[in-house]
Amino acid sequence: MRTMVGIVGGGPAGLLLSHLLHLQGIDSVVLEARGREELEAEIRAGVLEHGTTELLVETGVGDRMRKEGAVHHGVNLQFDGRRERIDLEGLTGKTITLYGQHEVVKDLIRTRLDAGGEVLFRAKGLGLQDLESEEPKVRFVKGDEEYELRCDFVVGTDGFHGVSREAFPEGARAEYGRRYPFGWFGILVEGPPSTEELIYALHERGFALVSTRSPEIQRLYFQCDPDDDASNWSDDRIWTEMHARLDTDDGWTVNEGKIIQKNVVQMRSFVCEPMRHGRLFLAGDAAHIVPPTGAKGMNLAVADVRVLSRGLAEFYRSGSTGVLDNYSEICLKRVWKASRFSWWMTSMLHRFDGDNAFQYRMQVAELDYVTGSRAAATSLAENYVGLPMEWREDPEAIARTTEGMDA
């Protein structure tokens, strides 16, 4: 098999990259280990930054998101028995959109298949070869047959446990990260919403989050032991914990409903440097992971492939490798800032092992400052709605990477 760009991983990063390349007349093949039904049924949260929603709309895959997604103009921070709102739009002129990651995946799959795109489901990557040559190769298995995909470039969007990052030669990459001593216990609930906008809560018992998916489906989380098992929690025990952490002194209470899903989410921060070796580029979770507190995971993946698609378009249009050569540097500036923000939000809102009353009061004081200072609230809001891509602020870079591009 032969294509221009081989993409290992059919999640939002790989599918969006394939779509962006298609708009520039660049062929690609997407290899995804899971089946389409499995991929589309994997329910994942989705807080989309302002720039992410703009890109989806501009490139023709945002129609259903605009109809069904919930635009939020602010978020709430709850602590010390009270709730304070951060006015995202008032402070930045931008909003966020709640639209599940799995819904984005559905839209992208349909768009790629309708356009005749090659998305090979149940195609498991086995390994990458000749990454420093002009024709790198991807070995994969589909059914009982093993295949080889030859291409000009390979992009690894196959997540933390995929084969792409492991294809870097020994000593060619550095990895930074930490595991957090807690996880999130998540539930999906059939019932009326408890709030119109997200609630991030600090409580002496630990963190909690209320997120509205739709008028009928709600998503709620609370901090838990990362090694806990969802089967250990009865519905009554879950609602008792939710009420303890979320009900406020003014009489507000979280709405209950039928729990249709329970799971425990692990928490980690991880960054791989560089995000390129030879003609292999990493994007999304294959290169970096952030705790979900800052709502940055999918948005970072979108930012990666946005840069990469422009670099590849520049290469095929003029032969220039300017953006591709600087891909890691461009993306990692944003990755590290998003990692900092996610770490800060996590540290401010969670109880750590060995925390004492002093540490808790420090967290309350920080939340009181953030919600009481316009400057501090603006800093949170700017990061939450999405920082600008600094490379796009360079007029020469913009002209070099956007000339003649349809999108």
Shared-domain flag, residues 157 and 212? no
The Cα 309–Cα 85 span in angstroms is 37
Q: Is residue 286 part of a domain?
A: yes
Question: Residues 277-294: pLDDT tens digits?
Answer: 999 999 999 999 999 999
Shared-domain flag, residues 220 and 300? no
Q: Is residue 158 part of a domain?
A: yes
Shared-domain flag, residues 302 and 194? no
The Cα 101–Cα 112 span in angstroms is 16
**Concatenated DSSP letters for 260-275?**
EEEEEE--EEEEEE-S
Question: Residues 47-58: pLDDT tens digits?
Answer: 999 999 999 999
Q: Is residue 161 part of a domain?
A: yes
Q: Is residue 238 part of a domain?
A: yes
Shared-domain flag, residues 276 and 169? yes
Q: What are the tokens at 402?
A: 């956007």
Angle (CA) 225 226 232, round 5°: 60
Four-CA torsion 369, 370, 372, 375, nearest 10 degrees? 110
Shared-domain flag, residues 190 and 249? yes
Shared-domain flag, residues 144 and 193? no
CB 152 within 8 A of CB 27: no
Half-sphere exposure of 102 (CA within 13 A, CB side): 11
In this model, does residue 402 exceed pLDDT 70?
A: no
Q: Which of 159, 160, 172, 168 is nearest to 129 (CA)?
A: 168
Shared-domain flag, residues 48 and 194? no
| Structural domain total, the chain | 2
Shared-domain flag, residues 247 and 191? yes
In this model, does residue 235 exceed pLDDT 50?
A: yes
Residues taking part in catalysis? 72, 200, 292, 296, 384
Q: Which of 365, 393, 386, 294 is nearest to 45 (CA)?
A: 294
- Region 230-252: mean pLDDT is 94
Shared-domain flag, residues 136 and 239? no
> Sheet holding 288-289: strands in order across?
174-179, 268-273, 288-289
Q: Is residue 382 part of a domain?
A: no
Shared-domain flag, residues 169 and 34? yes
| pLDDT in the model for residue 227 | 94
**Is the Cα torsion angle 19, 21, 26, 27 positive or negative in sign?**
negative
- Structural domain including 248 reads 183-265
Q: Against a cut of 0.85, is the pTM above it?
A: yes
Q: What are the tokens at 324?
A: 């591709």
